[in-house]
Amino acid sequence: MKISSRLCLSLSWALGLLFSGCGPTDEAPAPLAAEPGFATELAFPGQQGKVVRGTVALPGGEQELSYERFGDTAVLEGDILVRAQDHGTRSAKGAIKLWTDYRWADSFIPYVIDPDVPNPQRVLDAIAHWQARTPVRFAARTAQTDYVRFTRGSGCAAHLGRIGGEQLVVMGDGCSTGNTIHEIGHAVGLFHQQSRYDRDSALTVLWGNIQPGEEINFQTYVETGDHGFDVGPYDTGSIMQYDPYAFSRNGMPTLTLKSGAVFSTQRTALSATDIADVNAMYAERVRLRPAAAGTRCLDVQNGIVANGNPVWSYACSPSTAQVWYMMPNGEVRTGLDTNYCLSVNTGEPLLGASVVIAPCDGSLRQRWTRPPVGEELRTSMDVTLCLDLHNASTASGARVKLWTCTGNNAQKWQRFVRLRSSVNWNRCLDVWNDTAANGTATMSFDCNDEVGQQWYFASNGEVRSGVNPSFCLDVRNGNTAEGTRVQIYTCNGSNAQFWQFHPEIGMMTSGVAVDRCLDVSNASSESGAATQIWDCNFGLAQRWMKL
């Protein structure tokens, strides 16, 4: 049987296109001073809407969903605005939208502030707070089709993620800068913390204290039928966390810690995990392997987060020291602490200069470019110098440095990713027992960071396995019949090992036939479900995401 002790250690993941922008400073900016505001944001303070339930469109398909209607306005969880055609289309803090359509292209959000919004400085301060801590960039709208409009209203509310066209962030007169940071979080794509699937492992919901009709605001996104992926541990310090007295009917708490203690909430600053979540959504989560040593990964020495700690090539493992985020602005951040970046130690483009991690400071020594063709990482200080594995060593602990770009395998850093299945928030494409052997089956299994769930999409269409990059994702015997099992097999250049990933729909078509897709057998959400090829049908069993 599959080894059952494998843990889901996921911290983050997602997209990464090079985008010029300012990174964090050496010192994280101080949190904003606390100011009057709301601990739980509401679109219509003091009012209760009509609870409506119906079939609604979600990123992964249609689901039944309960929401509140205030006249012509539909609201989820108090402050999330939804349009009639996309009720329930949403993501979560720690639950990233399944489809990239709901993210802002190049991490860029155009905005407009209506002239009648009181104290527009709170909006500008909230935007500055986001830009100082995350890869998300903002600018006043010129002619962009998709943009955010900050508009005056009775409460605090926002649409979730990029919905297309104009979308609102509603600013009541009492909405503080902290409330605005929270609402921008929704617009970026974050959902409420307490809607995570694992909420009940951290908090107790006191259902008897909740106002009648408002219970729908305490459903996890799994219970509502939505699709998302939790990121990192539960964080009551998140700026997206409900107040413990939210929607109370009697002045008693509606949420407590498992111990029964009442926790505190804050609307001062994005928490470290909020920042990690946004990094996950707007960066590419990868493991970097040198082509010269395919079972070695770029690793932070001894897993220590410290200014100047070297990076080296080390045996690939589930360690977070080998997780990297390729940021839109060219930074490469370590999964150990996303405030630390891959950096040229000397700060000068010198042959043989060592490469370390250091607090992200936005300098060129921490910016890396990727050429249109190839897998090199070139320092922005001098694009003729590349991240290089010393002497193309295959030994664990080999030094990593800068050297003149030559295009050799010591400078090709292959980006291994996971493939998450839409049939279950916690299922990833996996190699049975991490066994590198011809014919080893692949399956949908509990997501983790082991080598069996690491995949490299080669430019020639092969999908190589992290257990051994000489093995490829393969259709057994090259058969085209529906239900043919998918396995790993020695890479041989056959059509059975060619795949095309379509990120806009999340489907992988097989080289054996253009109408055959990578599929979870019977759309099973069970751990260990078989994978096969099947007639492409756009179902959840054929939707995958690189994370």
Cα 379–chain centre separation:
25
Distance CA 453, CA 429 (A): 6
Residue 87 has pLDDT above 50, yes or no: no
Residue 231 has pLDDT above 70, yes or no: no
Q: Give the pLDDT confidence score for residue 66 in this predicted structure.
A: 79
Distance CA 53, CA 88 (A): 11
Residue 3 has pLDDT above 50, yes or no: no
Percentage, residues of the chain above pLDDT 90: 62
Per DSSP bridges, beta strands 455-457 and 378-379 are unpaired
CA-nearest of 97, 95, 101, 107 to 135 is 107
CA-nearest of 462, 477, 466, 479 to 431 is 466
- Asked if residue 184 lies in contact with residue 127, where contact means CB atoms within 8 angstroms, the answer is yes
- Asked if residue 140 lies in contact with residue 110, where contact means CB atoms within 8 angstroms, the answer is yes
CA-nearest of 453, 435, 457 to 444 is 453
pLDDT in tens, 400-439: 999 999 999 999 999 999 998 878 767 899 999 999 999 9
Please enumerate in sequence order all residues whose Cβ is within 8 A of that of 514, keeping only pairs 6 or more positions apart, or say none: none
Residue 192 among known ligand-binding residues: yes
Which CB contacts under 8 angstroms, 24+ apart, belong to 25-31? 25/132, 25/361, 25/362, 26/359, 26/361, 27/359, 28/132, 28/133, 28/339, 29/129, 29/132, 29/133, 31/268, 31/269
This prediction's pTM: 0.74
The mean pLDDT value for 496-506 works out to 89
- Asked if residue 333 lies in contact with residue 16, where contact means CB atoms within 8 angstroms, the answer is no
Residue 186 among known ligand-binding residues: yes
Q: Give the pLDDT confidence score for residue 546 in this predicted structure.
A: 82
Q: How confident is the model at residue 163 (pLDDT cuts 50, 70, 90)?
A: confident
Looking at residue 329, what DSSP letter applies? T
What are the structural domains, with CATH classification, of the chain? 50-277 (3.40.390.10), 283-415 (2.80.10.50), 418-546 (2.80.10.50)
Cα 545–chain centre separation:
10
Looking at residue 141, what DSSP letter applies? -
Residue with tokens 């041989």: 492
* Average model confidence (pLDDT) across the chain: 85
Q: Give the pLDDT confidence score for residue 196 in this predicted structure.
A: 81
Max mean pLDDT among 75-84, 230-239, 519-528 falls in: 519-528
Pairwise pLDDT comparison (520 vs 56), residue with the higher score: 520
Q: Give the pLDDT confidence score for residue 54 in this predicted structure.
A: 61
Residue 479 has pLDDT above 80, yes or no: yes
Residue 544 has pLDDT above 80, yes or no: yes
pLDDT in tens, 106-131: 789 999 999 999 999 999 999 999 98
Retrieve residue 79's tokens: 């402050």
pLDDT in tens, 355-385: 999 998 889 999 999 887 779 999 999 999 9
The mean pLDDT value for 228-236 works out to 71
Catalytic residues: 183
Residue 390 among known ligand-binding residues: no
Pairwise pLDDT comparison (15 vs 214), residue with the higher score: 214
pLDDT in tens, 266-294: 999 999 888 888 887 888 889 999 999 98
- Asked if residue 58 lies in contact with residue 76, where contact means CB atoms within 8 angstroms, the answer is no
183: left (phi over 0), alpha (psi -120 to 50) or beta: alpha
Pairwise pLDDT comparison (87 vs 34), residue with the higher score: 34
Distance CA 369, CA 46 (A): 51
pLDDT in tens, 300-325: 999 999 999 999 999 999 999 999 99
Looking at residue 363, what DSSP letter applies? -
Distances (CA, A) of 434 to 16, 148, 358: 28, 46, 33
Distance CA 433, CA 411 (A): 31
pLDDT in tens, 14-56: 222 222 223 333 344 556 655 666 778 999 999 999 888 765 5
Range of lowest pLDDT (138-142, 187-191, 286-290, 314-318): 187-191
User: Strand pairing partners for 401?
Assistant: 354, 388
- Asked if residue 499 lies in contact with residue 507, where contact means CB atoms within 8 angstroms, the answer is no
Residue 173 has pLDDT above 90, yes or no: yes
Pairwise pLDDT comparison (197 vs 293), residue with the higher score: 293
